Homo-oligomer: A and B are copies of this chain.
């Protein structure tokens, strides 16, 4: 077996969350897509809250290790940031993952189960921290020219990325992502 049932469930659930948020899908939807009965999903993930929590956890960990390996394997801070933005641009353009799981969930965070909400928040913190460290490194090497502190610039950049995803989705115009995010990177470069 190349992929466990639990992983199939998580994959399907993730794309359903990306499409419509926490309340936008049901166990029946997963059941249909995976090809097992509804009750079998409960065997792997007793409750929906638990399922989404695991899903967000997996997403956060993957993101963290992906970002970490960018820092390790991509030469300079400018290129690291570019690679991050390229990743999302590709995901949006080919519609493979047209939105960040945690961004959708953040929009409805007020009515999310507590555990899910805190995991979503943590992803935002991790991403902001990563951007901060890249910007800081770039500024020290005089590759970036920051108007504000690395922390603040990271928050601005993160907001632009999420906002760009939202605009691209709302206006049904995937190219908007690059059009919004590109100039932001350009303006940071020294």
Chain A contact residues, CB within 8 Å of chain B: 19-21, 23-24, 99, 102-104, 106-111, 120-121, 124-125, 147-148, 152, 155-156, 158-164, 166-167, 169-172, 176, 179-180, 183-184, 186-187
Contact = CB atoms under 8 A, between A and B. Distances in A.
B111 A19 contact: yes
* 3 A-B pairs with least C-beta separation: A159-B163, A163-B163, A23-B23
B187 A124 contact: no
A161 B166 CA distance: 11
Contacts of A187: 147, 187
Contacts of A156: 160, 180, 183-184
A106 B170 contact: yes
Contacts of A184: 156
Given A152-B183, A159-B160, A170 B99 contact: no
B20 A170 contact: no
Given A156-B180, A179-B155, A162 B171 contact: no
B179 A152 contact: yes
| Interface core residue of A99, A104, A155, A172 (most chain B CB under 10 Å) | A155
B111 A107 contact: no
Contacts of A163: 158-164, 166
A88 B104 CA distance: 20
